[in-house]
Structure 1
């Protein structure tokens, strides 16, 4: 899982006590409500309040944002980082070749010198967070139209960023909206850009079960990888990559625990959940289902079938596309599962009933009278949903779905212009040779198939002009047209300067293709933008009214990829009406491995059969069950971005890493079901066992304090 009841449904679900509402959600740490902390203590949390955010050894100080899309945790005095295998996927893939396939075979750096640098990998530590809503209000933020507020926030952020950098050049500051823009928090970060790959298990284990088991329970995936933060040797602070950098020495790190867990034990996840929409209206949920999830799943299904065929036929192609396929398929399955949950749980109907309660509250109190208007909201969404459906089809077809489409977008949108600024006629762009990153045959097949698919799913008025060219000059053969583009367009001539003012530039077939697809994008954007600002304002009012109506309850804001805490308990799950357990064992993966000759997702190397079939797992076996426990369940909240989030016990020790949710949690982005939703974690003992017995990584185990 790479992605993303709230109290949103508190009244609707007849949750009348504070306890029933405090033990769910994604809470900011700096202002955690006392009611939430007290509930955590009742569940078994033993640290003081300042052990979360402000204390010298606060848990917050060891949790990291990993590369802007995942979470992770620092686990040693020398800056060792644990995150998920799928979070490190691209870094691992980028070092892999057919001769040295670290993705397939795993990797272990036996010394600091062997640890591998990664150009685009970074980690961020949160330093401070504060509510600046009143400050912005006094500056006039809420006096502005809603479509002007974003630019105003940017200007304030720029000023505050300059001030914070003047105090410490290693810091940066972000301002983000909370509670649908009813509040704004400023968060200060410190980024480290020299992050090196240290250890990873083979893909067979790090992605065990593949797409077959993704979002499912039971699981046996050993989804982790290990990196190290490097720092300036003089300051122990951030520094660009240099061979002279040294391992970072944090003031606080999380300690691994071999003590395990039992059902009902306290469990806490801290990380960077990406995006939820739990305050979203019933109209917004319908739009999500019909205009985003449904077309996304359909188009990606077409693309992924073609990718799989090429990847299975050629190992070099597989290495190039492993990460791309994983990213695409994750939200393909997420979209399918979310729509299933929306319908099976009846989320739209439930939300409509809750909105009636808000309307009754509004009628009785006059709160936001003349502002929050459900009839207007319905009308606005009705104007947008059809266009949004077309837009999703457009984006899934033409945006970065092939190398040609990527270059077409870049030529029109912000590619770096080179040449003398005072002589526009000599300014140009140039594409570097990146042929090692993509495969022409796969890209062509995908591009042609998606062109055909797009035409089959949208009205003719939304077809780019090049479709007429396909019909007239190529007899409707998309493959021939794509061959023509790749062969004739200057966009595919790597290293060749493309001068904008050169005669005939716009006659290039690739440039013309780019302009055609942008014409459709511009039309769709104009239609969507015409109503979106009013929809945003209505959704903001709806959130405001809900919180006012339930003012006696604590409320958390939707996730926005800032640090959040989720807590609960280790919890069993019923699947098909039968208990499915709260952990899996080595025996269960051995049984699946036996089918690996038939199901590629269950394949594992002979050494893994041997290791997981061991008679004695020593110190890594659970002290109570005597079993080697692999993955476990909690009722913690989880969404995209939480991948790699540390999972702590009541004493703040590391139990494992969150890596997925279950099938019934796929609606959690819009509705958290405390009965059905689960967070799936990989057990730290499973991780350490493979580090020990497969990797023989003695130096790392010693660094982690594992004897």
Structure 2
């Protein structure tokens, strides 16, 4: 093993598993003490951890030096500071994914699953773009999308001193939130003096120990340009999700539009393609194992500093209930979707969103147990306690006994709340309307009211009712009686335990299911309307959960903040990255395979896709594809898209970059800052990476940009896009 240096300096215990007792000498702040740790620890000089979700404006020089040593060939300023900095081509895609600008006319690549809802919303049975794909032959055919946008990060800075100077630490949660909102408004006002289209977000970093202000510019006219058929964009479905090897052609193409002055503007037929400051050069040169690889995007959420108590709660009170409830819901959805094309179009996006973190939760729990993560965290906490005893740092504040008690006190309520949320939030149209009616109303002389638009194109009554019945039964089977909303008494007494009868009554009699008319929400109407009663009783239960959990929420958050602060101080001579919070981050590493069946594999080819398609022909639903796809993948020559070394069309590849939700659509760059792929998934063995990174297991799965271009060319025949992208 060659000698290398740490890239980030997370606790050396994480991700190493059980091993013999070892005596480690730790020198910190000129104090020498010995700690017995029942894990084998490599020395800092010989352990390499390709880990990190680094902010760009303050990227540690040591980290950049490591990037250079591994093959990054551009200067420091090329990442963030220059007008043509790489970060200027990277966007937040609609607040839930990432994307990259690839042309001087505002063309954006992201994942197919990130564009899923846009593709679905334009689909009908007659023009099913989800099933058959979509190609705009010119600007006029590009399709506008409601409530979609891209955000460019303009700059970022640390404002912790400003926040703390105002007495932030001594405030309660509500006052802290109010202060942050006030500061955010003040910073936004200042930014708008520079450019009226700017706005500023303030986010917590390092578990609330630091606060950064980030300036953004949003473009809200975003149009669909190109989408492959779902058979390719989601090839493998749930069977292959979070798995390797992959052959998924997970990309879609959008275009940013601006006004005639190249400024952000709402949708207008007069808008024109946006001319960006910088766009990513697209490479046809490929990669080989060991090559430098870098992702840049907007990872959503990690909890790498989380305590052992928090990880146990995540496993047992959050992940397990989520997986259980979604499994029940998805079985019913799948039956209805396969029976009716119109229903499938309505629910494609909803099913994909649900199933993604259903499988993630299952995989994360498996990984937590298989690598003994809770025990690893417990041993690391023992190390921190020993350091705390030696130095006195945060003595009387960071208290592991108190932390354990707080978590234990809220465990059952937190678990029941997860069952509640997964059962009643965003699972059927009537429940959605019932909760909105109670919480979101207007007012006139007659009282509070709400009016629902006719959105029947988005849901199916038969599917929703069957899901509602199943989940009502399932909820009762998994929570204590004290967590049951009052309408369960109605089911027992008035419906004699008949859940279907109760649900039919709600749908058939409630004014909630009328469209375009005002539904008044008053004491009198609630008494008369079963749907409004249902919503009120759900809301009452939700408020009860909030009261139960508020008693410990602030205390747990404070203990987790102090735990992070202790780690940062104990390892203050080492650079640390903050947990992901959907701000722009850089991750770097190498193209690197993973051992399967005794040999290492880091890419897949067209031949492997053809083999899976044959299984689709023999009944494996997730591997079905159109005949044209068989022909395209079975070609004898792939022209400029073939790898120059293997001569094959390479489809997907692996890197050891750090990835989590929100990274979907993140560009993968080579050492020259050229685009070689789009990140779209992680592998099954790394699903605990949101709370622990393990280089041996963690891989980022990307779609090869040559596969993307091949489909644009040979399936889409979109020569105008190829000329615009101008891949080299």
Q: TM-score, normalised by structure 2?
A: 0.94
- 2:607 is matched with which residue? 587
- 1:666 is matched with which residue? 687
Q: Please say if residues 592 and 602 of structure 1, whose CA atoms lie closer than 8 Å, have aligned partners that are also in contact.
A: yes
Q: Please say if residues 13 and 376 of structure 2, whose CA atoms lie closer than 8 Å, have aligned partners that are also in contact.
A: no
What is the alpha-carbon distance in structure 1 between the residues aligned to residue 211 and residue 425 of structure 2? Answer: 31
Equivalent in 263, 279, 290 of residue 237 of structure 1: 263
Q: Please say if residues 394 and 454 of structure 1, whose CA atoms lie closer than 8 Å, have aligned partners that are also in contact.
A: yes
What is the alpha-carbon distance in structure 2 between the residues aligned to residue 143 and residue 439 of structure 1? Answer: 50
Structure 1 residues 145 and 504: CA distance shift in structure 2, 3 A: closer
Q: Please say if residues 296 and 585 of structure 2, whose CA atoms lie closer than 8 Å, have aligned partners that are also in contact.
A: yes
- 1:316 is matched with which residue? 342
SS at match of 2:309: helix
**CA shift digits 1:327-376 (9 cap, x unpaired):** 00000000000000000000000000000000000000000000000000
Residue 8 (str. 1) matches residue 35 (str. 2): no
What is the alpha-carbon distance in structure 2 between the residues aligned to residue 265 and residue 257 of structure 1? Answer: 14
Q: Please say if residues 206 and 564 of structure 2, whose CA atoms lie closer than 8 Å, have aligned partners that are also in contact.
A: yes
Structure 1 residues 255 and 680: CA distance shift in structure 2, 3 A: same
What is the alpha-carbon distance in structure 2 between the residues aligned to residue 23 and residue 175 of structure 1? Answer: 28
Residue 567 (str. 1) matches residue 594 (str. 2): no
- 2:433 is matched with which residue? 407
- 2:533 is matched with which residue? 512
Counterparts of 1:94-133 in structure 2, within 5 Å, are 94-133=121-160
Residue 168 (str. 1) matches residue 195 (str. 2): yes
Deviation at 1:20, TM superposition (A): 4.1
Deviation at 1:413, TM superposition (A): 1.6
Structure 1 residues 402 and 26: CA distance shift in structure 2, 3 A: same
What is the alpha-carbon distance in structure 1 between the residues aligned to residue 346 and residue 570 of structure 2? Answer: 52
Equivalent in 82, 94, 99 of residue 55 of structure 1: 82
Equivalent in 264, 276, 291 of residue 265 of structure 1: 291
Equivalent in 393, 411, 429 of residue 367 of structure 1: 393
Q: Please say if residues 71 and 645 of structure 1, whose CA atoms lie closer than 8 Å, have aligned partners that are also in contact.
A: yes
SS at match of 2:559: helix
- 2:179 is matched with which residue? 152
Equivalent in 336, 339, 353 of residue 365 of structure 2: 339
Structure 1 residues 475 and 570: CA distance shift in structure 2, 3 A: same
Equivalent in 435, 438, 442 of residue 456 of structure 2: 435
What is the alpha-carbon distance in structure 2 between the residues aligned to residue 488 and residue 401 of structure 1? Answer: 20
What is the alpha-carbon distance in structure 1 between the residues aligned to residue 528 and residue 46 of structure 2? Answer: 67
Structure 1 residues 21 and 29: CA distance shift in structure 2, 3 A: farther
- 1:40 is matched with which residue? 67
- 2:311 is matched with which residue? 285
Deviation at 1:418, TM superposition (A): 5.1
Q: Please say if residues 6 and 671 of structure 1, whose CA atoms lie closer than 8 Å, have aligned partners that are also in contact.
A: no
Structure 1 residues 222 and 46: CA distance shift in structure 2, 3 A: same
Between Structure 1 and Structure 2, how many residues are aligned? 696
**CA shift digits 1:426-476 (9 cap, x unpaired):** 542111110010000000000000000000000111111111111112221
What is the alpha-carbon distance in structure 2 between the residues aligned to residue 32 and residue 418 of structure 1? Answer: 51
Q: Please say if residues 668 and 677 of structure 2, whose CA atoms lie closer than 8 Å, have aligned partners that are also in contact.
A: yes
- 1:698 is matched with which residue? 719
SS at match of 1:25: coil
**CA shift digits 1:67-100 (9 cap, x unpaired):** 0000000000000000000000000000000000
Q: Please say if residues 21 and 554 of structure 1, whose CA atoms lie closer than 8 Å, have aligned partners that are also in contact.
A: no
- 2:34 is matched with which residue? none
Counterparts of 1:524-539 in structure 2, within 5 Å, are 524-539=545-560
**CA shift digits 1:162-206 (9 cap, x unpaired):** 222233210010000000000000000000000000001000000
**CA shift digits 1:96-149 (9 cap, x unpaired):** 000000000000000100000001110000001000001111122123235532
Deviation at 1:523, TM superposition (A): 1.1
What is the alpha-carbon distance in structure 2 between the residues aligned to residue 462 and residue 535 of structure 1? Answer: 22
Q: TM-score, normalised by structure 1?
A: 0.97
Deviation at 1:401, TM superposition (A): 0.7
More displaced stretch, 263-272 vs 487-496: 487-496
More displaced stretch, 494-503 vs 189-198: 494-503
- 1:634 is matched with which residue? 655
Residue 489 (str. 1) matches residue 510 (str. 2): yes
Q: Please say if residues 23 and 36 of structure 1, whose CA atoms lie closer than 8 Å, have aligned partners that are also in contact.
A: no
Structure 1 residues 632 and 271: CA distance shift in structure 2, 3 A: same
Q: Please say if residues 283 and 727 of structure 2, whose CA atoms lie closer than 8 Å, have aligned partners that are also in contact.
A: no
What is the alpha-carbon distance in structure 2 between the residues aligned to residue 260 and residue 49 of structure 1? Answer: 24
Q: Please say if residues 177 and 183 of structure 1, whose CA atoms lie closer than 8 Å, have aligned partners that are also in contact.
A: yes
Q: Please say if residues 572 and 579 of structure 1, whose CA atoms lie closer than 8 Å, have aligned partners that are also in contact.
A: no
Structure 1 unmatched ranges of 5 or more? none
Deviation at 1:296, TM superposition (A): 0.4
Q: Please say if residues 64 and 123 of structure 1, whose CA atoms lie closer than 8 Å, have aligned partners that are also in contact.
A: yes
Q: Please say if residues 292 and 590 of structure 2, whose CA atoms lie closer than 8 Å, have aligned partners that are also in contact.
A: yes
- CA RMSD between the two structures: 1.4
- 1:80 is matched with which residue? 107
Structure 2 unmatched ranges of 5 or more? 1-6, 17-40
Q: Please say if residues 211 and 329 of structure 1, whose CA atoms lie closer than 8 Å, have aligned partners that are also in contact.
A: yes
- 1:471 is matched with which residue? 492
Residue 651 (str. 1) matches residue 672 (str. 2): yes
Residue 616 (str. 1) matches residue 640 (str. 2): no
**CA shift digits 1:673-693 (9 cap, x unpaired):** 011100000000000001000
Deviation at 1:40, TM superposition (A): 0.4
**CA shift digits 1:480-537 (9 cap, x unpaired):** 1111100000111112211234843433100100111112111111111110100000
What is the alpha-carbon distance in structure 2 between the residues aligned to residue 290 and residue 8 of structure 1? Answer: 25
Q: Please say if residues 152 and 216 of structure 2, whose CA atoms lie closer than 8 Å, have aligned partners that are also in contact.
A: yes
**CA shift digits 1:38-91 (9 cap, x unpaired):** 110111000100000001210000000000000000000000000000000000
Structure 1 residues 45 and 7: CA distance shift in structure 2, 3 A: same
**CA shift digits 1:385-414 (9 cap, x unpaired):** 111000000000011110011101101122
More displaced stretch, 463-472 vs 321-330: 463-472
Residue 352 (str. 1) matches residue 378 (str. 2): yes
Q: Please say if residues 274 and 640 of structure 1, whose CA atoms lie closer than 8 Å, have aligned partners that are also in contact.
A: yes
**CA shift digits 1:686-706 (9 cap, x unpaired):** 000010000000000000114
What is the alpha-carbon distance in structure 1 between the residues aligned to residue 557 and residue 727 of structure 2? Answer: 51
Q: Please say if residues 6 and 278 of structure 1, whose CA atoms lie closer than 8 Å, have aligned partners that are also in contact.
A: no
Deviation at 1:7, TM superposition (A): 3.7
Residue 328 (str. 1) matches residue 364 (str. 2): no
- 2:24 is matched with which residue? none
What is the alpha-carbon distance in structure 1 between the residues aligned to residue 404 and residue 9 of structure 2? Answer: 23
